[in-house]
Structure 1
Amino acid sequence: MLTEAELIQIRRHLHQIPELALHETATHAYLKAVVDQLPATWLTVREPSELPTALLVKVAGSQPQRTIGYRADIDALPVDETASCSFHSMHPGVMHACGHDIHMTVALGLLIYFAENQPQDNLIFFFQPAEESESGGKQAYDLGLFTGAWHIDEFYGLHDNSDLPTGTIGCRLGTLFAGTSEVNVTIHGTSGHAAFPHRANDAVVIAASFITQIQTIVARNIDPTACGVVTFGKMTAGSIRNVIAGEARLEGTIRGLTQDMILFIRQRVSEIAAGVAQTYNAQIDVTFNQGGYYPVENDPQLTANFIQYMQRAADVDFQETPPAMTGEDFGYLLNQIPGTMFWLGVDSPGALHAANFQPHEGAIIKGVTAMRGFLTDRMAH
């Protein structure tokens, strides 16, 4: 098993080489180099050509009753790091602002331990590209990477949490993260001279009416005790102040704690678009793209087992956490394979995705210790 200092050195190296979705070549090479140094007695390594930056490592169990999967995402974000440290990102404009360097390091710590101490059940470690975009989890599943000898019976994964104390394990029954769906709206009106509005069909006015009515979905169509979000964060229209815009484009996001909620909001967005189009005699095109970003809905029984272990483990600080409206493509994998996602507290002064995100490295060894204990306990039952 690695020492805390060795784990921190791995994390700092990974932090220096952040790469965007599906371009994680140096990250993949480093992970593979670490794996190549391990005892190979029980290991099988897979580098799928269909998803070349992914890496899967199987540890054969001594008396396997099941195959347990553990996932760590490996991509970074297009964020320019502002925190000052000796292991600053070497790639300008790219940073591990979501803490995937922490995720990978915990996974490597677990893998190294079980490579040296044969587990009872089979373990598959999945170092997954493209979590932040491109739905890497869905791509892997749809490519059949978890079939045959690589079938996984139950899946686990963590996400660091800047608000929880360092090393705290957080989890809950039900939904941990919301699902997300992109929504794009194009409004086709008629351009014209600003002085003759009656001869045009103002796409900006239509867009304003549409956005205003969208606010009624959450305010008036959703149970106040439920959670749903519709946000249009970008609007593009027009070219000059004295020309009425003939087209407007809106880009937004829909979030919900259940897939049914997301589908309901999407339906209402489409219905409102149709109504506004008729009112203004315009054409409104709406498209949705969810990809693999389904709600992270934890399996009831597996998660109850997980929480019970963490609550009674003497070396674990556990907190039950509320659901969050952030998105995660592990939700797609949990929609296909039962499992549990949990938080690892990193007590950062900067929030997730922020340029000053600075996770506390003391969380790494605590995460490895908690999951090593859980997996060992899980395999005994």
Structure 2
Amino acid sequence: MNPLIKIRRDLHQIPELGFQEFKTQAYLLAYLQSLPQDRISIKKWRTGLFVKVYGLNPIKSIGYRTDIDALPITEETGLSFTSSHEARMHACGHDFHMAIALGVLTHFVQNPINDNLLFIFQPAEEGPGGAEPMLKSEEMQEWMPDMIFALHIAPEYPVGTIALREGLLFANTSELFIDLKGKGGHAAYPHQTNDMVIAACTLVNQLQTIISRNVNPLDSAVITIGKITGGTVQNIIAEKARLEGTIRTLSQESMKKVKQRIEALVQGIEAGFECETAIDYGSMYHQVYNTESLTREFINYMQQDPDVNVIECKEAMTGEDFGYMLKDIPGFMFWLGVDSSFGLHHAKLNPDEAAIDVAVKVMTRYLTYKGNQL
């Protein structure tokens, strides 16, 4: 078996949530410590890792980031190497991302280039967000790269395809939690209560008008309420209700406007239903904005590779905290085709493992080119 496929399958069986990646970190460390140590230095950061691969004659440092956490999903793939952790799954492909990163790292330990490389194994991408605090860490500040790259699997593209664009690739995102507290009571006496189920339903309908009536039609934004909880039993009017959702916008200005309108509508619910309210935006991710010059250079370089099909794609409403790193460091992220019938965050996601070798070849070739440039 291809050793990188074995690594991917091993990691697939031990999915862990953000900042709980203890087994994952230990597995990565064990592998890294099996490599020759004369060209690498390793630093821990919480449940993540920084790994510096020293170049032969460095004039710059090139970063490569992979995320390492999983999702709170019960796996339904039926694979022989299915998740061994209850209600946890690598349903966003981070097991692939880690195996690819280890493959690229191993190549450069064995085949050093002129420049230094910094491999970043980042926890908590799915939440609460590891990129921003990792970026601000002392370890990152000491080893700050001059440019940085990353990839993300794309189930909708066939193996051998990479897709990206200059500029905006992924949206600005924010979680959304709204709590409502009124006055509960007996179902037979609604006039003596302030029903938070009714308040929540009213608010959900109002929230859907924000996009259609407050966002420029030539811009794009999404508000999704994915979960509603409220009440206790069928014959008691609910004292409390909670809405949980997400906001996604293609511009920072729209994110600000959407939040202003949410707050105004919630204030209206508070007054109209005589209740208390609270809003929490949870994790907020900065847009993934690919540096135009580096992205164009990469596209031009990869278009010369007969083994890869390069597609210039449209922006997507997906979120990725790699955007925080690109805010401070030039670089880009691209989609890697993995040809799965089921999409990201699905319990049956099953990417084609042939994409691992494709990605390793793409990144080793490109980083060799970049790392030997004067």
Query: What do you get for the CA RMSD once the two structures are aligned?
Result: 1.9
Compared with structure 1, are the counterparts of its residues 17 and 281 closer, same or farther at alpha carbon in structure 2 (3 Å cutoff)?
Answer: closer
Q: Deviations over 1:18-69 (max 9, x none)?
A: 2222222222222222222222232111123xx1x21111112223232111
Deviating more after overlay: 75-84 vs 212-221: 75-84
Could you tell me which of 353, 356, 360 is aligned with 1:364?
Answer: 356
The equivalent of 1:10 in structure 2 is 7
Is 1:89 the equivalent of 2:83?
yes
CA distance in 1: counterparts of 2:89 and 2:273, whole angstroms: 45
Is 1:106 the equivalent of 2:103?
no
The equivalent of 1:285 in structure 2 is 278
Name the aligned partner's letter for residue 321 of structure 1. Answer: C
The equivalent of 1:60 in structure 2 is 54
CA distance in 2: counterparts of 1:358 and 1:335, whole angstroms: 32
Kindly report which structure 2 residues correspond to 1:190-229, keeping only aligned pairs within 5 A, or say none: 190-229=183-222
Q: Deviations over 1:126-146 (max 9, x none)?
A: 111121222111221233331
CA distance in 2: counterparts of 1:239 and 1:97, whole angstroms: 32
CA distance in 2: counterparts of 1:375 and 1:22, whole angstroms: 29
Name the aligned partner's letter for residue 33 of structure 2. Answer: D
Q: Deviations over 1:64-95 (max 9, x none)?
A: 23211101111122222222333232333322
CA distance in 2: counterparts of 1:82 and 1:240, whole angstroms: 32
Q: Deviations over 1:281-308 (max 9, x none)?
A: 43322222234x2221212222222222
Compared with structure 1, are the counterparts of its residues 361 and 283 closer, same or farther at alpha carbon in structure 2 (3 Å cutoff)?
Answer: same
Name the aligned partner's letter for residue 73 of structure 1. Answer: D
Q: Which consecutive unaligned segments of at least 5 residues does structure 2 have?
A: none
CA distance in 2: counterparts of 1:28 and 1:378, whole angstroms: 29
Could you tell me which of 32, 44, 63 is aligned with 2:41?
Answer: 44
Give the TM-score normalised by structure 1.
Answer: 0.92
CA distance in 2: counterparts of 1:258 and 1:232, whole angstroms: 20
Q: Deviations over 1:260-284 (max 9, x none)?
A: 3222211110011123323344332
Task: Compute the displacement of 1:173 (Å).
Answer: 1.4
The equivalent of 2:121 in structure 1 is 127
Is 1:328 the equivalent of 2:320?
yes
Kindly report which structure 2 residues correspond to 1:116-265, keeping only aligned pairs within 5 A, or say none: 116-148=110-142, 150-265=143-258
Q: Is the contact between residue 43 and residue 139 of structure 2 (CA under 8 Å) also seen in structure 1?
A: no
Compared with structure 1, are the counterparts of its residues 32 and 282 closer, same or farther at alpha carbon in structure 2 (3 Å cutoff)?
Answer: closer
Name the aligned partner's letter for residue 11 of structure 1. Answer: R
Q: Is the contact between residue 169 and residue 310 of structure 1 (CA under 8 Å) also seen in structure 2?
A: no
The equivalent of 2:68 in structure 1 is 74
The equivalent of 1:339 in structure 2 is 331
Task: Compute the displacement of 1:350 (Å).
Answer: 1.8
| Count of residue pairs brought into register by the alignment | 373
CA distance in 1: counterparts of 2:74 and 2:183, whole angstroms: 40
Task: Compute the displacement of 1:243 (Å).
Answer: 3.3
CA distance in 1: counterparts of 2:247 and 2:283, whole angstroms: 9
CA distance in 1: counterparts of 2:304 and 2:227, whole angstroms: 47
Could you tell me which of 293, 296, 303 is aligned with 1:301?
Answer: 293
Compared with structure 1, are the counterparts of its residues 275 and 67 closer, same or farther at alpha carbon in structure 2 (3 Å cutoff)?
Answer: same
Compared with structure 1, are the counterparts of its residues 269 and 37 closer, same or farther at alpha carbon in structure 2 (3 Å cutoff)?
Answer: same
Name the aligned partner's letter for residue 53 of structure 2. Answer: V
Compared with structure 1, are the counterparts of its residues 143 and 350 closer, same or farther at alpha carbon in structure 2 (3 Å cutoff)?
Answer: same
Q: Deviations over 1:110-129 (max 9, x none)?
A: 11111111122111001111
Q: Is the contact between residue 185 and residue 249 of structure 1 (CA under 8 Å) also seen in structure 2?
A: yes
Q: Is the contact between residue 159 and residue 338 of structure 2 (CA under 8 Å) also seen in structure 1?
A: yes
Task: Compute the displacement of 1:163 (Å).
Answer: 0.5
Dislocated runs of 4+, deviation >4 Å: none
CA distance in 1: counterparts of 2:201 and 2:15, whole angstroms: 40
The equivalent of 2:25 in structure 1 is 28
Q: Is the contact between residue 315 and residue 370 of structure 1 (CA under 8 Å) also seen in structure 2?
A: no
Name the aligned partner's letter for residue 216 of structure 2. Answer: D
Compared with structure 1, are the counterparts of its residues 63 and 91 closer, same or farther at alpha carbon in structure 2 (3 Å cutoff)?
Answer: same
Compared with structure 1, are the counterparts of its residues 12 and 283 closer, same or farther at alpha carbon in structure 2 (3 Å cutoff)?
Answer: closer
CA distance in 1: counterparts of 2:16 and 2:184, whole angstroms: 43
SS at match of 2:2: helix
Q: Is the contact between residue 180 and residue 256 of structure 1 (CA under 8 Å) also seen in structure 2?
A: yes
CA distance in 2: counterparts of 1:196 and 1:15, whole angstroms: 53
CA distance in 2: counterparts of 1:139 and 1:312, whole angstroms: 37
Give the TM-score normalised by structure 2.
Answer: 0.93
Task: Compute the displacement of 1:207 (Å).
Answer: 2.1
Q: Is the contact between residue 129 and residue 283 of structure 2 (CA under 8 Å) also seen in structure 1?
A: no
Q: Which consecutive unaligned segments of at least 5 residues does structure 1 have?
A: none
Compared with structure 1, are the counterparts of its residues 275 and 151 closer, same or farther at alpha carbon in structure 2 (3 Å cutoff)?
Answer: same
CA distance in 1: counterparts of 2:32 and 2:222, whole angstroms: 42
CA distance in 2: counterparts of 1:70 and 1:205, whole angstroms: 49
